[in-house]
Amino acid sequence: MTLSLTRYFKISLLGLVILLAGCHHQPTTTDNLEAPAVISEMSKHGIIEQPKQWSALVKQTNHGKNVKTVRELSAILQQGNRHSFATDSPKALEQINYPSISNIDGYQVLNVPTFFSADSKKTNKYQQQLRKLLKTVSHQQTIILNFAHNQGGDYYPMIAGLAAIIPKGVLWSEVDNADHGKQVVMTATQIHGGLLGNSYRFPASHAAIHKQVVVITDSRTGSAAEMTIMALKRNPQVTTIGVPTAGYTSVNKGRVAKSKKTAAILTIGTITSPVKIGNQRHFNNEPLKPDLTTMYAPISPAKGEQYQKQQPLDTDFWHELEKHLSE
């Protein structure tokens, strides 16, 4: 099953709050907002980071009845969990970027970018292009995957596109606020399970899990990108390098209002990895620590104003990476 902007959907995109913060859309009526229903659902099913403050905020807003704008609702949801938010532009959830290859000093670097779309054709295009490019770079002694500035979106096409280097089996478990866990599992042709019970089918690929793999991470690698890296880390040949990720390691569910004019993204689960990452298995919006922490960030801060731009990699970072590749 592919994703669609129906009443409920799955999304994990950390940058959207930042991207929408400066946007000014048409005013949304209180009825279209559905704030009381959204706040009620967040209270019942959400992963609330500071319960006392959340309870006070719910009372202060009369259980959402006093909330008049999407900006107010989004701010309230973020007080509940920093991975949650609301938007009056559901179409803005779509982030279309496709994988590419950069040639650097004789190496081919596979860029794995942010992606989310309700269009199954675009989703499949991302997965197919990633699969094709992975095959292209597989001749190298070490496969280099660039997740810097990948802010997430939809992990299905990312994982499916990299399935050749991800062992089959349990990718991770999603745990709700009642401590009930459900596994996300990958077979040769499908990813399925989790708290929402979604699934995604893809063509089988020839396994290449014997290849050495280096994964580049930075402080804007988040959400679905972090989940994809968690799946990759089940492969003992994978080494992560860079700086700790953004720390949006949690499960989101989207809720589109009946009017289709607003959407709320609610954080409903934490994550348990089957393998330790940075000496840790359970994640609740904590970053993934790289196996090798570099002195320099993968993307120079001077060139990092474009949130999703993955190239060029910082020269000093690249020299650190090359040193590792030569060892």
Q: For residue 187, report the phi and psi dihedrals to the nearest 5 degrees.
A: -105, -170
> How confident is the model at residue 77, as a pLDDT?
97
Nearest to 104 by CA among 140, 80, 69: 140
pTM, 2 dp:
0.91
> How confident is the model at residue 240, as a pLDDT?
98
* Distance separating alpha carbons of residues 18 and 248, to the nearest angstrom: 14
* Distance separating alpha carbons of residues 215 and 1, to the nearest angstrom: 28
* Distance separating alpha carbons of residues 202 and 187, to the nearest angstrom: 10
* Distance separating alpha carbons of residues 229 and 309, to the nearest angstrom: 19
Q: For residue 241, report the phi and psi dihedrals to the nearest 5 degrees.
A: -145, 140
* Distance separating alpha carbons of residues 244 and 49, to the nearest angstrom: 21
**Residue type (1 letter), 162:** L
Domain boundaries, the chain: 1-327
Q: Is 140 helix (H, G, I), strand (E, B) or coil?
A: coil
Nearest to 298 by CA among 241, 248, 256: 241
> How confident is the model at residue 140, as a pLDDT?
92
> Which element (helix H / strand E) includes 170?
strand 169-175
Q: How distant, in Å, are the alpha carbons of 45, 72, 184, 217, 318 from that of 324?
A: 44, 47, 32, 15, 10
- For 133: left if phi > 0, alpha if psi spans -120 to 50, otherwise beta; the answer is alpha
Nearest to 256 by CA among 33, 58, 48: 33
Q: Which fold has domain 1-327?
A: 2-enoyl-CoA Hydratase; Chain A, domain 1 (3.90.226)
Q: For residue 287, report the phi and psi dihedrals to the nearest 5 degrees.
A: -75, 160
Residue 240, strand partner residues:
215
For residue 294, the number of C-alpha atoms closer than 13 Å in the C-beta half-sphere is 28
pLDDT, block means (10 residues), the chain with 327 residues: 40 47 42 89 98 97 95 96 90 91 96 95 98 95 96 96 98 98 98 96 91 96 97 98 97 90 94 97 98 95 65 95 91
Give me the chain's average pLDDT, please: 89
> How confident is the model at residue 13, as a pLDDT?
57
DSSP H helices, 102-223, are 120-137, 155-161
* Distance separating alpha carbons of residues 211 and 209, to the nearest angstrom: 5
